[in-house]
Amino acid sequence: MSKVAPTKSDSSSGLSLALRLRSEESGAWRELLELYGPLVENWAACAGLGQTACQDIAQEVFLSVHRSISEFDATTAGATFRGWLWRITRNAVLQHLRRQRTTPRGGSTAAAQLAAVADPWGGSSLDDPPTAPDQTTALVRRAMKQIQSRVDPVTWTAFTRTAIDGELSTDVAAELGLSAAAVRKAKSRTLQRLRKQLGDIR
């Protein structure tokens, strides 16, 4: 039986998006904006901000990422690039709201205003971004689109049919002329590359 071909070689084949950003690799910042820009704007929108304000927040967030990317460490237990980006976004939104709101004079209305500024997302936390399932799905699909050209076509087919379509590795293997073990390896290898593109592992 045929073996799964190795992933295509390119300058970023062994690096996560976070490390590519840190090394200022050509194309990495464009991919970051394409990948996470819609999510950052959605987080801001969930706090009640309008479209223009959401775009301003996104610009501020990615400028902050550019200045502090060296501080992100994917090897820290529980660390995710998305979680780190959420904390930056959360701080930017809260600062924006505090600048926009006039100082309340007192009473129950004042307390409500301050509470809204403290948590405009209604229950989110530093470790719990307000990300709806459809936003997570869209994020993963954007990442998949970015890495597809870097993955061998047979490997990509084995991955999508098992990981996305839910087909059995034995069935996919029979159709592709691979061993079931090779299909499972293709799935695992591509999932790891996907996680690297999302910035979560080295």
Residues of the chain with pLDDT > 90, as a percent, come to 61
What are the extents of the domains in the chain? 17-197
pLDDT tens for residues 106-154? 555 544 554 556 678 876 667 778 888 999 999 999 999 999 999 999 9
Helix (H) or strand (E) holding 47: none
pTM: 0.83
Q: What is the DSSP string of 159-202?
A: HIIIIIS---HHHHHHHHTB-HHHHHHHHHHHHHHHHHHTT---
**How many CB atoms are located within 10 Å of the residue 112 CB?**
11
pLDDT tens for residues 38-71? 999 999 999 999 999 999 999 999 999 999 998 8
Lookup: tokens for 127: 């470790």
**Confidence (pLDDT) at 9:** 42
Phi, psi torsion values for 2, nearest 5 degrees? -70, 155
Residue position matching structure tokens 């590519």: 20
In 3-state terms, what secondary structure has residue 125? strand
**Confidence (pLDDT) at 143:** 96
How many Å apart are CA 33 and CA 40, to the nearest integer? 10
**What integer best gives the mean pLDDT of the chain?**
85
**Confidence (pLDDT) at 106:** 52
